[in-house]
Amino acid sequence: MAESWSSLDNSEPNFRPLVVIELAKGTKKETIDWFTKRIVDRKANGGAQLLVKPLIVENGDENTYLVGASHLRLLLGAETVGLVKECGDNSMRTFTYSSRKTFKDFADDNHSFLTMAECQYIIKHELENLRAKDEKMIPGYPQAKLYPGKSIVRRLLTSGILVQIFPLHDREELKKLRHSWYGRVKVGYQPLDEIRSYFGETIALYFGFLEYFTFALIPMAVIGIPYYVFAWEDYDKYVMFAAFNLLWSTIILEVWKRICAIMTYNWGTLLMKRQFEEPRPGFHGVLGVNPVTGREEPVYSSIKRQIRIYLVSLPFVCLCLYFSLYVMMIYFDLEQWALDYHEENGSNFSSLMLFVPSIIYAVVIEVMNRIYRYAAEFLTSWENHRLESSYQNHLILKVLVFNFLNCFASLFYIAFVLFDMKLLRQSLATLLITSQILNQFAESLLPYWLQKRHKKRMRKRMSSPKAESDLSLVEQVSLEKEMGTYLGTFDDYLELFLQFGYVSLFSCVYPLAAVFAVLNNITEIYSDALKMCRVYKRPFAEPTANIGVWQLAFETMSVISVVTNCILIGMSPQVDALFPDSKTDLILTVAFVEHLLLAMKFIMAFVIPDKPKDIQMKLAKLEFESLEALKQQQMKLAAESLKE
Amino acid sequence: MAESWSSLDNSEPNFRPLVVIELAKGTKKETIDWFTKRIVDRKANGGAQLLVKPLIVENGDENTYLVGASHLRLLLGAETVGLVKECGDNSMRTFTYSSRKTFKDFADDNHSFLTMAECQYIIKHELENLRAKDEKMIPGYPQAKLYPGKSIVRRLLTSGILVQIFPLHDREELKKLRHSWYGRVKVGYQPLDEIRSYFGETIALYFGFLEYFTFALIPMAVIGIPYYVFAWEDYDKYVMFAAFNLLWSTIILEVWKRICAIMTYNWGTLLMKRQFEEPRPGFHGVLGVNPVTGREEPVYSSIKRQIRIYLVSLPFVCLCLYFSLYVMMIYFDLEQWALDYHEENGSNFSSLMLFVPSIIYAVVIEVMNRIYRYAAEFLTSWENHRLESSYQNHLILKVLVFNFLNCFASLFYIAFVLFDMKLLRQSLATLLITSQILNQFAESLLPYWLQKRHKKRMRKRMSSPKAESDLSLVEQVSLEKEMGTYLGTFDDYLELFLQFGYVSLFSCVYPLAAVFAVLNNITEIYSDALKMCRVYKRPFAEPTANIGVWQLAFETMSVISVVTNCILIGMSPQVDALFPDSKTDLILTVAFVEHLLLAMKFIMAFVIPDKPKDIQMKLAKLEFESLEALKQQQMKLAAESLKE
């Protein structure tokens, strides 16, 4: 019944399904045959040499396929993608099939040498690199054009024949992971290595950062608590807090780079070579010749893109920013109205009303952020960037600028135009807490609840209610097929970024912010874990060596926070009292201290090495070895040439 | 008479001397025999496989040797050092002997494929990499210890047996270069490519930077001239000048990176792989095992070095800084005294006396800078850094900080403590002009004069006065042996760095500074060229891809200049008049503008790509090709492995 198409690896006794391919309903037989043939075909013939099996469901509609690969094929694929693994002598090296025996835990019959996430990443890579040879179109679909070298899977996706590709969950592993991650009540670190081997490096690094950031906030939170408990209102205490905060925020960002280097070194991704970047799936243009690769591929004029960016996207973003400021002004009108109302009536109800504008505004901000996000995605996609990385950078820039203004403009206005510290503290608290609650709800709990309801209905349809582990493969696949897709760590990092802003920008006014941030992050870890394990399809692993542009974003925020905190301190009556004669001296002193702090920050960032000594040593050792090997080779060649 | 030691390359008909080795007088025969044998020995036996000839002088003292190499040996050496050359298809590629036919201008009988500077660099590299095998000491000198892997030449140098190694000038080439460089009166660019093939990339890049910087200053100078001609004293014009200056200084530094990338791409050094760095000659310590290389070599505890740096060097530097400030205060006392004297007498003499303190101070600054330089070199060498690069960084940091304070402290004091703009302008002019005159004199003209006198005496001794081109090899070598050694581009860059400071830090007060800078740099090009061609021994070529730490130094200076110029403008009466009611508003506005400018600067530096589009494309193409080659290789292997 379950027929394998692989003509080559019949020797493989047990087919282990790793990746699911869902084709559109009613895809032509001719197309399916061609596609599956290409997947199982020999490498030498331009195939991917993987294994494919159709998933037989009862109603007989064959549109879902399972992809696997022989153990040998996966090992060769690991070399192709450049995986880095630990050797017997504890050093990390790029895996090659010929040197496989030197690697730790390698044995020809040890099928767990590669983690399941790695196997799935390899299969994804091989599928995406399945390229058209001389086909002019996808058989059966003349409108889906192909040209030599075009990725077949990407064309299938963009023409709608391929609905989705996703890796299968491993019920056993997932259960274990869930248990050690959030299944039991415990105090301690997350099982980052297990998360990494199940979900890949990008996601593990996010959870690593989230955990690190939470721990890093704890000292700030601890120092912040007495301010609330003893109701310290004197500014000299706030000055102390702010000074600590500034130093702290620089140090934690520098230390993170080192911790990140240690983690990614042990995961092997620090050493992984960058792969050549292919055009992103959505990229389109007229066929031309790529000057770098010399291959025929769609080409889109850079000038056209620049025009779209500067004449459409930029004005649109500015308009949105203006709109956001406009909404902010409405909020202040509302605030004033509530204040007037309270003064007139003075009832309990009216004092409650004081909080209403802030809460409404916080909700509106969240809503605007989300709507803007869609607009930004649409615009950036319309800008037609050739590379995924360039697309991501433009998207992140658009979203960051708007979110920053949207979230913090009102606070800046209150602080530096209205000079109302009491209102600032109150707004900060309302914004922070409301946005945290909304986020937790919208990101994890709501999808979890929807997913649960959906699952229940599915179960009912499947007649016999079973425990999760007893589900058949068919049932598991049809369940996972319907799960939502995790869209990457962008939103999660953005949330942390804004939180960092709330905590650091006005830290000397509201020291309790760090406490709320810590509390939020602890629940965030659990709700994000829940989201990854229960709500979404398993995502493909993505090797990564750092948190990329977010490091820069956090560092920029910490520079801005130096400026804001210095101004806030300069405005405090206590500091004011130190300069009774002249306000000029006060401002000059504050400006001087600010420049000093900024200079110190840059020097610290420059002086603290980005990688710990021992990682540097290990990297130097690897570099030395490869240089030595090259030299030996040249020496041999030289000796031979000179002998002739 | 002239006997060649090379047992291998007897086929080489014409020995071309490239490098001179001077041993100490009275070096033991046993040592000489061992050393020369190692130089000519086969690669397989651990030799350098070069050619050696003694230089026979009349008094018969054989202590100078000429080193050359066969054409084949040099080509193989070019592969070892990783030279990058232009291919037939105009792309730059790493030279390998096996692919030699694909390179432009390559022919087996074309001995000018490698420039003489490249050949000399290769020989230097091969000599320095001549390593001890099982020798425990240098034969004949039991106190000069060796251990396996120790560079023989470095030990010979540190134990004083080897006096110097230097590359020979090529009289013919040098004459041509001199002619096209400064021999005729012409307006135009320097022959940078010729300079590069004669002196190597580091020196060519310095002259390239000097030329670029001079051109870049011209707009500033042109705008500055009317200020002097029309005696514009109104500050709104100064504001315009300063604004232009700030924008300009950012742009020229960013553009330089791009020009530098174009130049070094065409020279091949942009693509050259970094070689593994050996310990510097002066490094000493007890024998231990290097954790990176696993080799036996001297090891020096990092903690001991830290102690030396922080407990000796740092306090010493601080003391010097304090002393420099003390001298500055004396200068102000003198200045005051001269002013009083002038007021009392009011004669021509007394008005001339007004300039005396500034001139004395400028001379004292130069003298202090030079003395401090020696102290810094001594201290940094005593800190016992393992790597030359780390030594250089610590030295540069020490020297830069002191020079900056020494040169600019008085100007800062006048500007921001005394608020005396007239004195500032006068001091700036005196300092700038005096230091330029002193530099030109001390760096080029004095050595040139000394060298000329020395040459004359040599000629007299050599009985027959000849034209330079007719000198015999023996005479040429003995002339060059006595020439001074060029100590690197450090001082030249430092001079430009300080000049950049004079021009940019207080630009809105003294727009004429740029004019003097341009004039100085034009003569500087000629006097530096003279220095390189006439005064010093030919230096070994050093491949380099950028101006390194100087880029950072110049950028830091331009950040500081934003701050100083903003303050100066804020202090001007015209700007003051714009805020008649409150000085506070003025300061806040200035601070705001300053932050805006700084933010703009950082954004500009971030947005402008460091390499021009076409260089980026060429680099991407090379990377793509090497990745493709790797993939092809893996595919072949995979196909084979799967077939088995």
- For residue A638, which residues of chain B lie inside 8 Å, CB to CB? 43, 49, 76, 79-80, 97
Asked if B151 and B104 touch (Cβ cutoff 8 Å), the reply is no
Mean predicted confidence (pLDDT) in A473-501: 87
Mean predicted confidence (pLDDT) in B286-297: 82
- DSSP letter string, B367-382: HHHHHHHHHHHHHHHH
* Secondary structure (H, E, C), B118-158: HHHHHHHHHHHCCECCCCCEECCEEEEECCCCCEHHHHHHH
pLDDT tens-digit series, residues B310-355: 999 999 999 999 999 999 999 999 988 888 888 888 788 888 888 7
Query: What's the pLDDT score for residue B8?
Result: 43
User: What is the CB neighbour count within 10 angstroms for residue A307?
Assistant: 12
pLDDT tens-digit series, residues A395-436: 999 999 999 998 899 999 998 888 888 888 888 888 888 888
Query: What's the pLDDT score for residue B10?
Result: 43
Out of A97, A275, A591, name the one closest to residue B591 (CB): A591
* The pLDDT of residue A621 is above 50: yes
Q: For residue A41, which of A81, A6, A4, A77 has the smallest C-alpha distance?
A: A6
User: What is the CB neighbour count within 10 angstroms for residue A59?
Assistant: 4
Distance CA B383, CA B305 (A): 6
Distance CA A377, CA A380 (A): 5
User: Would strands A64-68 and A19-23 be described as parallel, antiparallel, or unpaired?
Assistant: antiparallel
Helix, strand, coil shares of chain B, percent, nearest 5, are: 65, 10, 30
Q: Is A43 on the interface with B (CB under 8 A)?
A: yes
**At A233, is the pLDDT very low, low, confident or very high (cuts 50, 70, 90)?**
low
In Å, how far from its chain's centre is CA B71?
30
Query: What's the pLDDT score for residue A123?
Result: 94
Query: What's the pLDDT score for residue A19?
Result: 93
pLDDT tens-digit series, residues A427-480: 888 888 888 888 888 777 777 787 788 777 776 766 555 555 567 788 888 888
pTM (two decimals): 0.88
pLDDT tens-digit series, residues A240-256: 777 788 888 888 999 99
Query: What's the pLDDT score for residue A462?
Result: 62
Q: For the CA atoms of chain B, what is the radius of gyration?
A: 29
Helix H or strand E segment including A169: none
Q: Is B587 on the interface with A (CB under 8 A)?
A: yes
**At B464, is the pLDDT very low, low, confident or very high (cuts 50, 70, 90)?**
low
CA dihedral for B369, B375, B376, B378, sign (positive or negative): positive
Which range, A51-60, B103-112, B208-217, B597-606, has the best average confidence (pLDDT)?
Answer: B208-217
Query: What's the pLDDT score for residue A623?
Result: 84
Q: What's phi and psi for A597, nearest 5 deg?
A: -65, -45
Helix H or strand E segment including B340: helix B314-345
Q: Is B295 on the interface with A (CB under 8 A)?
A: no
Mean pLDDT of chain B: 85
- For residue A97, which residues of chain B lie inside 8 Å, CB to CB? 637-638, 641
Query: What's the pLDDT score for residue A3?
Result: 36
Distance CA B426, CA B358 (A): 9
Asked if A274 and A543 touch (Cβ cutoff 8 Å), the reply is no
- DSSP letter string, A613-634: HHHHHHHHHHHHHHHHHHHHHH
Query: What's the pLDDT score for residue A214?
Result: 93
Distance CA B140, CA B30 (A): 6
Query: What's the pLDDT score for residue A212?
Result: 95
Out of B73, B634, B637, name the one closest to residue A642 (CB): B73
Q: In the Cβ-directed half-sphere of A16, how many Cα atoms lie within 13 Å?
A: 15
Per-domain residue ranges for chain B? Answer: 19-168, 178-300+384-611
Mutate to test the interface with A, among B71, B100, B108, B276 (most CBs of A within 10 A): B276
Query: What's the pLDDT score for residue A6?
Result: 41
Distance CA A369, CA B481 (A): 74
Asked if B520 and B499 touch (Cβ cutoff 8 Å), the reply is yes
ipTM: 0.84
Q: Is A635 on the interface with B (CB under 8 A)?
A: yes
Residues above pLDDT 70, as percent of chain A: 93
Query: What's the pLDDT score for residue A642?
Result: 65
The residue of chain B with its CA nearest to that of A606 is B552
Query: What's the pLDDT score for residue A264?
Result: 94
Asked if A82 and A94 touch (Cβ cutoff 8 Å), the reply is yes
Mean pLDDT of chain A: 85
* The pLDDT of residue B176 is above 70: yes
Distance CA B158, CA B145 (A): 11
pLDDT tens-digit series, residues B378-409: 999 999 998 888 898 899 999 999 999 988 99
Beta carbons of A642 and B76 less than 8 Å apart: yes
Look at chain B and count its residues.
Answer: 644
Look at chain A and count its residues.
Answer: 644
Q: For residue A248, which of A225, A218, A228 has the smallest C-alpha distance?
A: A218
Distance CA A513, CA A224 (A): 8
Question: Does B461 or B552 have the greater pLDDT score?
Answer: B552
pLDDT tens-digit series, residues A138-191: 998 988 888 888 889 988 988 889 999 999 998 888 888 988 888 776 667 889
Structure tokens at A471: 């589900």
**At B213, is the pLDDT very low, low, confident or very high (cuts 50, 70, 90)?**
very high
Residues above pLDDT 90, as percent of chain A: 30
Query: What's the pLDDT score for residue A164?
Result: 92
Kindly list the distances between the CA atom of residue A177 and the CA atoms of A167, A184, A266, A517, A599, in Å, as whole numbers in the listed order: 17, 11, 20, 26, 45
Q: Is B608 on the interface with A (CB under 8 A)?
A: no
* The pLDDT of residue A60 is above 80: no
Query: What's the pLDDT score for residue B235?
Result: 60
- DSSP letter string, B180-198: IIIIS---S---HHHHHHH
User: Amino acid identity, residue A620?
Assistant: A
Beta carbons of B617 and A79 less than 8 Å apart: no
**At A318, is the pLDDT very low, low, confident or very high (cuts 50, 70, 90)?**
very high
Asked if A384 and A305 touch (Cβ cutoff 8 Å), the reply is yes
Residues above pLDDT 70, as percent of chain B: 93
Mutate to test the interface with B, among A91, A601, A641 (most CBs of B within 10 A): A641
* The pLDDT of residue B526 is above 80: yes
Beta carbons of A276 and B623 less than 8 Å apart: yes
SS3 A28: coil
Structure tokens at A632: 């030996």
Mean predicted confidence (pLDDT) in B524-529: 87
- For residue B8, which residues of chain A lie inside 8 Å, CB to CB? 642
B235-267 and B549-571 helices, crossing angle to 10° = 170
Q: For residue A74, which of A5, A129, A124 has the smallest C-alpha distance?
A: A124
**At B462, is the pLDDT very low, low, confident or very high (cuts 50, 70, 90)?**
low
Helix H or strand E segment including A360: helix A356-382
Query: What's the pLDDT score for residue B353?
Result: 82
